[in-house]
Structure 1
Amino acid sequence: MTLLTLTSLRKQYGSVAALDGIDLSVTAGSRTAIVGPSGCGKTTLLRLVAGFDAPDGGRIVFDGRTLADSSSQVPAHKRGIGIVAQDGCLFPHLTIRQNIGFGLEAEASVKNARIAELMDMVGLDPAMLARKPDQLSGGQQQRVALARALARKPRLMLLDEPFSALDTGLRAATRKAVTDVLTAAGITTLLVTHDQGEALAFADQVAVMRAGRFAQVGSPREVYSRPVDAATAAFLGEAIVLPADIADGQAKSPLGVLPVDDVAYRGKGEIMLRPEQVTVMQDNGSDSSKGASGTITDINFCGPTSDVRIRLGSDPQGFSFRLDIPSREALAAGDRVTIGVAGAAHLFR
């Protein structure tokens, strides 16, 4: 069942089209991530859904009820939607108990029971209830912000880059905890992020946004493995894009003849490989059938991986690409290498 529907949504700021005809359907109980670079319009979209801004055109329908269109708008506090912002937006002068209970209208005993339930739900010690926000870690503050947003039992939760201010290790742990809580509660979630890995790990549905429009909407595996164009491919992760001549499901490319995921297309085009499809081994000259050959022109050690640039063939002006490879390969600039490819390349149509 579809819970949230956005149709031809538009928002203009002066001459800038922040949103330029957004269409999106969100299934009840699902998790959707909107991912894109800074300034692409993703936070503006979240503000329209929350009710903080009004659209200039289009429609927002939530559970069969029109929340906003170009002529009318339901106020934010009447939408039954929760939101967690990047910094949590906790009230610094209130205790954790007062923050979570803010806006809850109930008798003291009922209110305290709900607060205790929420603390347990987000995995926080009840002893923290008497503390102020500045006495908690960043991850704990975000869990409190989530508990406060859950307090009024919203059917839709909006997450506006809630993990971006956290350290890398804490970010992953907090994201996992938040995901588990929302899944257990069966709450439909809309996450806005510029972190591609976060979007792919969190969501059932990913919408890639660029210049106020969705470039592609699909499952995480679909948008990562079968992006619509090279720009989307590069934004979602490292990609090797190669020119090729395609026919009968095969592509003649600088890396040799490779299978492609489109057997119908014939002609010139571009194909894409993801780094996990590519292996790089030192070329001992014994077996040229294992893949294309190339030369490492630059290498930077980065701990578990090394950032290398490989030029194919012997032509100094030949095709080159960069790749992260495991640092266990003791390679150096100038080394000859063999490049192997596993699986089919993706053809951009």
Structure 2
Amino acid sequence: MSSLLQLQSLSCGYENTLITEQLDLTLAAGEIACLLGPSGCGKTTVLRAIAGFSPVLSGAIIKDGQPVSTPVFTLPPEQREIGVVFQDYALFPHLSVFDNIAFGLQGKSRAEKQRAVTELLQLVELPDLSDRYPHELSGGQQQRVALARALAPRPKLLLMDEPFSNLDTDLRRQLALEVRGILKDQGIAAIMVTHDQEEAFAISDKIGILADRKLQQWGTPPELYYHPVNPQVAGFVGKGELYNGECLNETTVKTELGTIEFAEPFGASEGKKLSLFIRPADIRPSIEHGDVMARIEQKEFLGCSVVYQLSLPSGRQIEAEIYEPLMLDVGAEVSLHVAAHRPIAFEL
């Protein structure tokens, strides 16, 4: 796929405040990406810079091989062929659904607008709501109208700023998958800003983790989940904790959770000090006696799984999540086993 968008050593901010710095990434035509990170990390600032709403302090934004933003040049937003879906949808309350969608079709005849809006309403599965007003729609319907309006001018790139944040969890997931299908069907590239990892994984071909003003990692969801480049990325894309350990050989590490045997070698020599990222689902408590014992302090039944809060002999509190019908009692002493196929390890 050809490159549609490039951020080259991009730094953004306002006046004397630096928000993000030295960002580098490439988005291919038709590719869907997410910028994922905690609140205040600069995700929306980057999105606004790509749209042309915010300045660039250094570096460049390149679209279709041409600079659209540098510290000395900014192509106006309306000339960038970029659509935007805002967090609050930003629908015009005094306009009907038809007129909201048709708003971006300036210069088109009434017949052309009618044909385009009809097609878009079919695309977002709202074929019979053209005469309604925003206040007569549900949150999910408003989101679909906002998407249709952004797609009306047929942009090459769509930017979405936390577009599902006002919806309940089930509807967010459903809409995320629907939007991905629509964008893929239309061949439109997109960048979405979110702080929700599941949402990002559901919609994205690529994910960028933003933290401490920098792009920590840019890659596919499996790359980020299984091969995070640092503990910050590991903690953001999957719940877990770090455990210091010492390599006994290329597949074995001794930690306070016990001696952990991995199925795959990880290239560390004997005596090497590591920090392992272990997820709750990898920790298996057992009623059998073992080398490392822990006490169950709390348990939470979640239907498909049970989450146990455990205390180690050191007093450290950890979490284990079991997807089996194994019901252990609070106060019970259990042994611990770590069943991780491949290590997520960082050098100390």
Among 298, 309, 326, the residue aligned to 1:329: 326
TM-score scaled to structure 1, two decimals?
A: 0.91
Would the alpha carbon gap of residues 136 and 68 (structure 1) be closer, same or farther in structure 2, given more than 3 Å must change? same
Write the letter of the residue equivalent to 2:277. Answer: M
In the alignment, the residues of structure 2 paired with residue 15 and residue 332 of structure 1 have an alpha-carbon distance, to the nearest angstrom, of 56
Write the letter of the residue equivalent to 2:104. Answer: G
In the alignment, the residues of structure 2 paired with residue 204 and residue 131 of structure 1 have an alpha-carbon distance, to the nearest angstrom, of 35
The alignment of Structure 1 onto Structure 2 pairs a total of residues equal to 340
In structure 1, the residue matched to 2:277 is 272
In structure 1, the residue matched to 2:260 is 257
Q: For residues 61-105 of structure 1, what are the alpha-carbon distances to aligned partners after superposition, in whole Å with 9 as ceiling and x for unaligned?
A: 001111010101100001000111112111010000000000212
Q: For residues 192-237 of structure 1, what are the alpha-carbon distances to aligned partners after superposition, in whole Å with 9 as ceiling and x for unaligned?
A: 1000111122111111000221111111011111212222212212
| SS at structure 1 position matched to 2:73 | coil
In the alignment, the residues of structure 1 paired with residue 245 and residue 277 of structure 2 have an alpha-carbon distance, to the nearest angstrom, of 10
Q: Does 1:34 align with 2:13?
A: no
In the alignment, the residues of structure 2 paired with residue 93 and residue 181 of structure 1 have an alpha-carbon distance, to the nearest angstrom, of 27
Structure 1 unmatched runs, 5+: none
- Counterparts of 1:173-192 in structure 2, within 5 Å, are 173-192=174-193
Structure 2 unmatched runs, 5+: none
In structure 1, the residue matched to 2:296 is 296
Q: For residues 308-342 of structure 1, what are the alpha-carbon distances to aligned partners after superposition, in whole Å with 9 as ceiling and x for unaligned?
A: 22234xx3x25441233348432222212233314
The Cα of 1:265 is off from its aligned counterpart by 4.7
In the alignment, the residues of structure 2 paired with residue 230 and residue 73 of structure 1 have an alpha-carbon distance, to the nearest angstrom, of 36
Write the letter of the residue equivalent to 1:122. Answer: V
Question: Is the CA contact 1:121–1:181 (under 8 Å) kept in the aligned structure 2?
Answer: yes
The Cα of 1:301 is off from its aligned counterpart by 4.2
In structure 1, the residue matched to 2:215 is 214
Q: For residues 139-173 of structure 1, what are the alpha-carbon distances to aligned partners after superposition, in whole Å with 9 as ceiling and x for unaligned?
A: 11111111111101101011110001101111111
Question: Is the CA contact 2:285–2:320 (under 8 Å) kept in the aligned structure 1?
Answer: no
| SS at structure 1 position matched to 2:128 | helix
Larger CA deviation: 203-212 vs 294-303: 294-303
- Counterparts of 1:145-160 in structure 2, within 5 Å, are 145-160=146-161
Question: Is the CA contact 1:241–1:273 (under 8 Å) kept in the aligned structure 2?
Answer: yes
Instruction: Supply the RMSD in Å over aligned alpha carbons.
Output: 1.9
Question: Is the CA contact 1:7–1:22 (under 8 Å) kept in the aligned structure 2?
Answer: yes
Would the alpha carbon gap of residues 67 and 237 (structure 1) be closer, same or farther in structure 2, given more than 3 Å must change? same
Q: For residues 12-40 of structure 1, what are the alpha-carbon distances to aligned partners after superposition, in whole Å with 9 as ceiling and x for unaligned?
A: 33443101111111111111110000100
Q: For residues 240-261 of structure 1, what are the alpha-carbon distances to aligned partners after superposition, in whole Å with 9 as ceiling and x for unaligned?
A: 3211102423211223233265
Write the letter of the residue equivalent to 1:184. Answer: D
| SS at structure 2 position matched to 1:223 | helix
Larger CA deviation: 237-246 vs 256-265: 256-265
In the alignment, the residues of structure 2 paired with residue 201 and residue 274 of structure 1 have an alpha-carbon distance, to the nearest angstrom, of 20
Would the alpha carbon gap of residues 261 and 219 (structure 1) be closer, same or farther in structure 2, given more than 3 Å must change? farther
Larger CA deviation: 243-252 vs 187-196: 243-252
| SS at structure 2 position matched to 1:280 | strand
In the alignment, the residues of structure 2 paired with residue 336 and residue 201 of structure 1 have an alpha-carbon distance, to the nearest angstrom, of 38
- Counterparts of 1:14-163 in structure 2, within 5 Å, are 14-104=15-105, 105-124=107-126, 126-163=127-164
The Cα of 1:264 is off from its aligned counterpart by 3.7
Write the letter of the residue equivalent to 1:6. Answer: L
Question: Is the CA contact 2:19–2:42 (under 8 Å) kept in the aligned structure 1?
Answer: yes
Percent identity, aligned pairs only, is 36
